[in-house]
Structures are given as C-alpha cells and as structure tokens.
Amino acid sequence: MTAATHSTLFPQAPDTADAVLGGLDPEQREVATALRGPVCVLAGAGTGKTRAITHRIAYGVRAGILHPSSVLAVTFTNRAAGEMRGRLRQLGAAGVQARTFHSAALRQLQYFWPKAVGGAMPRLVDRKIQLVADAAAACRIRLDRGELRDVTAEIEWAKVTQTVPADYAVAAAGAGREAPRGAAEIAQLYSAYEDLKRGRGVIDFEDVLLLTVGILQDRRDVAEQVRAQYQHFVVDEYQDVSPLQQRLLELWLGDRDDLCVVGDASQTIYSFTGATPDHLLDFRTRHPGATVVKLVRDYRSTPQVVHLANGLLAQARGRAADHRLELISQRPPGPQPDYTEYPDEPAEAEGAAQRIRGLIDSGVPAAEIAVLFRTNAQSETYEQALADAGVPYQLRGAERFFDRPEVRKAHVALRGAARFGGNDSLLDDAVDLPSQVRAVLSGEGWTPHPPAGSGAVRERWESLAALVSLAQDFTAARAGATLSDLVAELDERAGAQHAPTVQGVTLASLHSAKGLEWDVVFLAGVTEGMMPIAYAKTDEQIEEERRLLYVGVTRARERLHLSWALARSPGSRPGRRPSRFLDGLRPGSGARAGRPAAGGAPAVERGFARAAGGGPVGAGAVPRRRQRTPARCRVCGRTLTDAGELKLMRCEECPSDMDEGVYGRLREWREGQARRSGQPAFCVFTDKTLMAIAESVPEDDHELARIPGVGVRKLNRYGADVLAICAGRRVAGVDEGD
C-alpha cells in the first residue's frame, strides 16, 4: 500500500462545530452546511471531496443536527471506508458508520437472516472462480485460465446488472458486451454456477447485495427497521454505482431524500463491472430540488499537471464529457510534464528506473513515486529494471499489508506486550509508546537503520518500519496513549485493510491507482494499442480509455513523466506510435485542443529529435538504439522475445558456450561487491547478465555495453573490473579474499 495524502494521520479534534468548518474553501463549506434534502457534489480530481463530505458529517454531528448512529456513509473500497472512519474520529464524529456497499449489506443480511429467512445464513465464498470451473466441468465446457477469469467477470456483470441467466443473451447484446464465449454458452455456465451454489449452500459477494435487496423488498417490517436506524446517507464515488447498488440505496432511503452523493463522471473507469455514471448525471432529474455543488479547486496537482488533465478532457466526447469539470490548480507552478520516446519496452523500463534512482538519491522518498501502466502484465519489466537499479518497490494488488506474515507476527507481539508487558524486561527502558513499539518490534527484525538494497529482507523491514511510524503519529495525536490503545487502532485498521505507509516505489495498474496520489508519477506504455487498449472498439470504450489516462495523470502532485516504446523488444520493428490521446497536447503533435486551464503552461517534449550533426536536441535526450532487425538466437536462429533469452542472445535450451572460469570469477566478484555495498547480489548484475558476459567475453567497453543488462551507470561503475576478469587479470576481492 501507499500513502494517499500528505495530511497528518492523527490531528487534534476541533473544539466546536464551527471549528469543523475552519480551513474549508467556499464550495467545500457549502457542501458541509447543506445538511437537509438531496445534495449532489460534482468533485474533480484532487479537489478535496473526502475532506468536504467528512467535514459535512462531522459538522452535522457536532452541531446536533445529525445523530452519529443515524448516518451511513458508503464508499467502494475498504481502504476508503477505513480512511473515512479515521477522519471522522479525528473530527469528533466517532460512531458514524462508514462502509462499503457490500460490508453494509452483509452486516444487515447477517442480522436479519434468522428473522426474514430462518436458520443459519449460507457460507460466503471468497473466490468464485473454482465454482465457475466446476460449473464448466458440469456443462462439459473446457475453459483455459484466461477464459475462466473472463467468464467469472461476465457472471459478476450479469448479477450486478440484475440479469438472470435466461435474459443474459439479450442483455449482453444490448450492452455491447464482448463475451469470452458465445452468449448461449455463457448463459448455460451462469445457470450451472447458480445451481452449484444452491446445491452447496453457499453465496457469493453479489448474492449479498441481491439477497439484501430481496429481503428489503419483500419484508416491509425489515425495511422499516433499517430506515428507522439510518436517516441520512452519503455515497462517495457515485459515478461507480451499479444498477444493483442503486436499487439497494433506493430501498435504504424509502420515500426520504436526505441523501448526499459525490462523484465525477470523468473518472468513470469501471463500466466493465456494471458501473455507470448515469445515476450521477441523472440525479437532478430524479431530485429536482437538489443542491448541486461543483468542486474545481485542485489542491493536489501543479498547474502544469492540471493543464494536461484539462486538455485530455477537452478532446473527450459523449455524455460524461458534456459534464466535465475544468480544474483550477491551487498549487505553485512546477515542472512541465515530460514526454520520452524509447526504442523498445526494456529500454523504457530501464530509463524509468534510472530516473527513479536519481530522484531517490536526490531525496525524494520512494513511497512518493509510482509507475502506472495499463495492464498488470507490464509490471514484470519494471520489477526487473528497478531491481537492477537497486530501487525498492511494492506491487499494488499483491499481498495485503495486514496479511503479510511479518505484520501478523508483529501484531501478535504487540498484543502480547500490551497484556503482559509489565513482566517483560525488554520494556524496562521504554519510556513512551513509540519506544515500547520499537522495543517489541526489535525482536521481530526491526532495526533503527534499514538494510541496503531491495528484496525480501528490505520488504520485511519496511513493513515493521511502517508500524513504528504509525505509533509515532498516534502518540503525537493522543498524549498518554497506551500500547493497548495502539493495538485497538491496529485491529480496526486490519479489519478495514487501512494500511500505513510502506517505503518503496509503487507499481500499479491505472485501475488500481484510483483514489491514490504521489509526488512523482511515471505513466508507462502510452502507445496506441495500449492507451487506448487494442480491444476498445466502440466510441464509449475509447472514451473510457481516455478517462483512464486522465485518472493516471491526476495521480501526480508535482512531476509527471509520460513515455512510450516504438517496439516491444530489442530488434523488433519500430511500428508503434504515441497514444492519440496526446495529439494536440504534446508539442509537435498538432494544434492544441480545448481551453487551457487557469495557470497552465505548455508541456515540454523531451525525446529523440536530433540536430543536423547527429547530436541530441535538448537536455536529457537518450541515444536511439540502431538495431532494427529482429533479435535472433545465435545458435539456432529462432526469433527471441523472452527478456532472459534476449540477454543471452540464445534460446534457453540451446547449448551454451560460456567460459565457466570467467563465470565463476564474475560471481565471486559480484558477491564481494554486494557485501561492500550492502545490497542483494542481483542489484549488481543478474545471473543472466553474468552468463551473457561469460558467453561473449567482451574485450572493450563497446562490446560490454552491447550486452543487455549493462547500462551506462553499471558500465561506468563496474566496467573496468568486469573487463579485467574477462581478460584474466587479477581484481581486488577475487581469488584473494575480501
């Protein structure tokens, strides 16, 4: 996980209701004080929507207008719900329910099931993909892994759009769905899946919403009990509401209208799951007397980033585009967005890694840097490039923070210390909560100084360091807080998966980056076929891809780097071109479209334009690789595409002509370098790179530089030693101890 904001984690609660309004801009204050009737907040990226709605709830509670237990705030992720609960506690509005749609529905379903249905509620399955596989087997339909995932997603779409198996074919055709199988087969699989669930007495996450809707529709007494509990509703990210979620919201409301919705049609990027901005855009039609407030003051991004974001939307079409918000940056000017073209994807990843290495060396925290891409498959190249550059990273969407083994062990250790710490000599010298936490976690592997480099050891240390940092923030806000108080805070955060900050560059898909922000953002692979994705065919699909890029751009606070590669792999035909979404926005791509945002300035292109004499034009230009023919195995002649094979310039299965003596000396030298620098050995050179060196045995800098994995930085740092080993000369630390 990564930090979403720069705000203090545990500020002091305001003294009075009026103090809750302090620091809000005029539009945010309008949101906070509009406490009766329907309210629609159209909030652009970075405009402080969470601040506005949490202060709205807190002001209502502190002023005695709203009772905490009567308010239900709904959002779409556990992280967002946890953050909202935390902010409300900080504002003195503890007791307000802030949940996801599924969490709120599940809580109600568990409570009312014995009364409305009788008996024990069916077991909830965490992952439905095995059930879909079993349904396919029952139907004698063979699905590969990709089809299995796609069919599962198609069933989820059908359920959130309230489509039964018999109606699937018509509904899918009407929605323009491109199903992984024929409509008849999907309907058959969907029906078999539902039969299997019933036979096994289990339900899935979509059933939680469907069953809650069914009970509220059929049992008037249950509906009245829920409506007596909750009289005031707030819905965040309203542009992502599905028809099923909208129906549940309507049943919660009944004939009342104390509803505040917040959203931005320009950030609708989940239509493939059934989300639609229509509910947001039609809000005024359904509620003619609604108060509508537009938040356009962008506190997140510099004018230069905002200018590019506005330019992207200025070229958009469709209904969502008709309601776009023109953002106005409230921050001082910053650097221009940076555009870079690379010959191939490995070069693009290496270029980003080297820039990131430089940023970290200059003092930018790794946790404030992100690399965002369109598909998860793109991450592997960047993982390797960052590892080669000695940059720690974390893959968003991987194992959740509180599920990590070291975090679970630390949590248990802290709980034990809270209960029995009085008898623990380890805590004798701990004078306050942070020192107690440091003392306990030192037994789990935390040290005052981080281990160098990346890898599993560094990742474990970062997890523990995040808990130490959280304890310090917690103590600063709550004087006299005890270890038991901190454990209670961790219990609540674990339940909501509200993780503290972990140091490391974030690698994430654009979809998973929604709701987050960083000081520096690298948008990778901004090419046709990837942005927009190749399978986006209709106008609606193309516009959603544009909005996805807009979301990526607006994640950046200060620096934004956009890049693309002309080919997938070294030696491939350079047939790609930059995304059409950048036409008219990056210099040299045609006339600029749309109105510039206030305070905006033209973006500066950095790429590979070359002067007449062949030298690079502009600072930071990187030489274009000359290779134009496909890379082929030097043994059998087969075209190479795998990154490891490209380093060796041969197929994995082809015989190696490696000089075993050179390879052994290189490995011994690498171990010494790793020990001296305190980083993992692969950060010096990977095994594949050492093998490639030992196979080619370069004689000079030029030959060494041609080996994939030997960049300019490593050539300058290690080139002399490597060439000496290849030539059979003695090198300090090899064959003579270290």
Residues 117-150 have pLDDT tens digits of 988 899 998 888 899 999 999 999 988 877 888 8
Quick one: what percent of the chain has pLDDT higher than 90?
46
Quick one: what percent of the chain has pLDDT higher than 70?
84
- 223-234 residue pLDDT tens: 999 999 999 999
Specify the pLDDT at position 501: 62
The mean predicted confidence, pLDDT, of the chain is 83
Backbone angles phi, psi at 656, to 5 degrees: -95, 140
Please list, in sequence order, all residues whose beta carbon lies within 8 angstroms of the beta carbon of residue 565, skipping any fewer than 6 positions away. 341, 342, 343, 344, 345, 347, 348, 525, 527, 576
Separation of first and last alpha carbons in the chain = 39
CA distance 737 to 583: 59
CA distance 485 to 491: 10
- 501-537 residue pLDDT tens: 667 899 999 999 998 999 999 999 999 989 998 878 8
Q: Name which of 185-194, 396-405, 456-465, 716-725 the model is least confident about.
A: 396-405
Residue 596 binned pLDDT confidence (cut-offs 50, 70, 90) = very low
Residue 634 binned pLDDT confidence (cut-offs 50, 70, 90) = low
Q: Do 84 and 75 contact (CB within 8 A), yes or no?
A: yes
pLDDT average, residue stretch 69-77: 92
**Cα–Cα nearest to 564, from 574, 583, 577:** 577
Q: Which residues pair with 233 in a beta bridge?
A: 72, 259
Q: Which residues pair with 393 in a beta bridge?
A: 505
CA distance 209 to 189: 21
Specify the pLDDT at position 479: 81
Specify the pLDDT at position 341: 94
How buried is residue 718: exposed, middle or buried, by Cβ count under 10 Å (0-12/13-18/19+)? middle
- 164-176 residue pLDDT tens: 999 999 998 888 8
| Alpha helix (H) residue ranges in 362-517 | 379-388, 405-420, 433-442, 456-477, 483-496
Residue 625, pLDDT > 70, answer: no
Residue 10, pLDDT > 60, answer: no
Q: Which residues pair with 40 in a beta bridge?
A: 261, 292
Specify the pLDDT at position 613: 38
Specify the pLDDT at position 400: 60
Backbone angles phi, psi at 184, to 5 degrees: -65, -40
Specify the pLDDT at position 604: 21
Q: Name which of 213-222, 477-486, 640-649, 681-690 the model is least confident about.
A: 640-649
Residue 641 binned pLDDT confidence (cut-offs 50, 70, 90) = low
Task: Return the residue matching tokens 């480099």.
Answer: 453
pLDDT average, residue stretch 666-674: 86
Specify the pLDDT at position 214: 94
Helices 129-138 and 145-160: crossing angle in degrees, nearest 10, is: 100
Specify the pLDDT at position 471: 87
Residue 620, pLDDT > 50, answer: no
Specify the pLDDT at position 671: 86
Residue 652, pLDDT > 70, answer: no
Specify the pLDDT at position 630: 52
Q: Which tokens sit at 253?
A: 């409301």
Residue 12 binned pLDDT confidence (cut-offs 50, 70, 90) = low
Q: Which residues pair with 73 in a beta bridge?
A: 98, 234
Q: Do 330 and 301 contact (CB within 8 A), yes or no?
A: no
Specify the pLDDT at position 79: 82
CA distance 234 to 39: 9
Residue 397 binned pLDDT confidence (cut-offs 50, 70, 90) = low
Question: What is the greatest pairwise CA distance in the chain?
Answer: 88
Q: Which tokens sit at 372?
A: 């965002």
pLDDT average, residue stretch 626-641: 56
Sign of CA dihedral 491, 496, 497, 498: negative
CA distance 272 to 544: 10
Please list, in sequence order, all residues whose beta carbon lies within 8 angstroms of the beta carbon of residue 573, skipping any fewer than 6 positions away. 567, 628, 630
Q: Which tokens sit at 106?
A: 């599940």
pLDDT average, residue stretch 560-589: 89
CA distance 145 to 130: 11
Residue 717 binned pLDDT confidence (cut-offs 50, 70, 90) = confident
Angle at 205 between CA 199 and CA 206, to 5 degrees: 85
Residue 344, pLDDT > 50, answer: yes
Residue 9, pLDDT > 80, answer: no
Specify the pLDDT at position 14: 77
CA dihedral 546, 549, 551, 554 (to 10 degrees): -120
Specify the pLDDT at position 643: 57
Specify the pLDDT at position 707: 84
Helix, strand, coil share of the chain (percent; to 5): 50, 10, 40
Residue 593, pLDDT > 70, answer: no
Specify the pLDDT at position 635: 63
pLDDT average, residue stretch 266-272: 89
Specify the pLDDT at position 637: 61
